[in-house]
Amino acid sequence: MGSCKFSTFSFLCLIIVLIVVSGEESPQLVKDRISLLSFASGIVLDPEGALESWNSSSNHVCHWTGVKCDNASDHVTQLDLSGLSLHGRISPVLANLSSLLVLDLSRNFFEGHIPAELGYLFRLRQVSLSWNLLGGNIPEELGFLHQLVYLDLGSNRLAGDIPAPLFCNGSSSLEYMDLSNNSLTGKIPLKNECELSALRFLLLWSNRLAGRVPRALSKSTNLKWLDLESNMLTGELPSEIVRKMPKLQFLYLSYNDFVSHDGNTNLEPFFASLVNSSDLQELELAGNNLRGEIPPIIGDLSVNFLQIHLDENLLYGSIPPHISNLVNLTLLNLSSNLLNGTIPLELCLMEKLERVYLSNNSLSGEIPADPC
């Protein structure tokens, strides 16, 4: 029997397929097959021929590329078509896959809006639509997915405010949220009465988010990776928030409009708030409006530190020799500030230091010899 082309999917083709497979697939799988074929009709280009198996009536739906089923319940539970260079739109008919647990359409060329109907797939645990060409607003219905663990909408063309239900009425089990590299605006909509206690990764970099870092984020005590870089966030550095995140490994706050404490004169409270984060490896504060001296307490930070970026600020005073306590540091960037004095000799004791950026300051004296 000839195959049915997705771009010209028709009711007649559907009837033929159903007749052929009705003896092999359960009624529920026949319904899932219909939904998948309807979704496929929205794919206008499949350059790698990845979905050829979908076009054959002899293939059981559970054997189609990217499709996995639960044999016990006879339902499609996973649709993973990531990285197949597919072009088209995401059909709302996917909402008919009522037992779907995983939806991964990342690294393709899907355009149009994210269907609000996906918010009614109540069993979904993982949604990844990243690295596509999706535009418009994020549908607030995604906040209805109370079992969601992983949400990645990064690197699209999404705009508008982040819907509050995504943070406040969504999954209490959410561990990973990536909305980065879009054009999202407004504030981070995390209210005091809400919490994301299981959250471990929050990636919001490269958007147009404004306002302060919400205090309720301090309830996310399991956070390992917080990336708010390249937005328009304001206020003092979030010392009291990160103080309650002892598991932090990566903290990126660069290229916002943050200031230091005490009228933008004192960095010590912020660095003090990180002393108990014993797993911290990278800290980026570049390109803000930070003033003040680099406090000696910087030497009390985690010995696991690998990179510190304090460049493109308004820091003044000398470089504290205590920084040499960070014996595993590989990169130190203090360029483009107002630092003065001499370069501390102790830097040459940092055997793992590979890159040091001190340009565009008012430093004087000799460069420490290597070895000391």
Strands 67-70 and 75-80: antiparallel
- Euclidean distance between CA atoms 131 and 310, whole angstroms: 30
Q: Look-up: residue for tokens 């003033």?
A: 291
Strands 176-178 and 225-227: unpaired
> Residue 348, Cα to own-chain centre: how many angstroms?
37
Q: CA 130 → CA 114, 154, 167, 189, 338, distances in Å? A: 11, 5, 19, 21, 40
Beta-ladder partners of 339: 317
Estimate the crossing angle of helix 27-40 against helix 11-21, to 10 degrees: 150
Burial environment of residue 226 by CB neighbours within 10 A (0 to 12, 13 to 18, 19 or more):
buried
> Which token pair is 42?
């929205």
- Could you tell me where the beta strands, DSSP code E, fall in 181-330? 183-186, 201-203, 208-211, 225-227, 232-236, 250-252, 257-259, 282-284, 291-293, 307-309, 314-317
SS3 76: strand
What's at 303, amino acid-wise? Answer: V
Measure CA of the first residue to CA of the last residue in the chain; give whole Å: 79
What's at 201, amino acid-wise? Answer: F
Q: What is the pLDDT of residue 73?
A: 74
Contact (Cβ atoms closer than 8 angstroms) between residue 119 and residue 138: no
Q: What is the pLDDT of residue 24?
A: 67
Q: What is the pLDDT of residue 194?
A: 86
Handedness of CA 5, 10, 13, 17 (dihedral sign): positive
Burial environment of residue 300 by CB neighbours within 10 A (0 to 12, 13 to 18, 19 or more):
middle
Local confidence pLDDT in tens for the 372 residues of the chain? 333 344 444 433 443 444 344 446 788 899 999 999 999 999 999 999 999 999 877 788 999 999 999 987 789 999 999 999 999 999 999 999 999 999 999 999 999 999 999 999 999 999 999 999 999 999 999 999 999 999 999 999 999 999 999 998 766 789 999 999 999 999 999 988 888 899 999 999 999 999 999 999 999 999 999 999 999 999 999 999 999 999 999 999 999 999 999 999 999 999 999 999 999 999 999 999 999 999 999 999 999 999 999 999 999 999 999 999 999 999 999 999 999 999 998 888 899 999 999 999 999 988 776 666
- Euclidean distance between CA atoms 87 and 188, whole angstroms: 31
- Euclidean distance between CA atoms 193 and 119, whole angstroms: 23
What's at 225, amino acid-wise? Answer: W
> Which token pair is 297?
């307490």
Question: What are the respective helix, strand and coil percentages of the chain, to the nearest 5?
Answer: 25, 25, 50
Contact (Cβ atoms closer than 8 angstroms) between residue 300 and residue 323: no
Q: What is the pLDDT of residue 55?
A: 86
What's at 159, amino acid-wise? Answer: A
SS3 208: strand
Strands 355-357 and 331-333: parallel
Q: What is the dihedral of CA 140, 142, 148, 150, to 10 degrees?
A: -90
- Could you tell me where the beta strands, DSSP code E, fall in 17-161? 43-45, 67-70, 75-80, 87-89, 102-104, 109-111, 126-128, 135-136, 150-152, 157-161
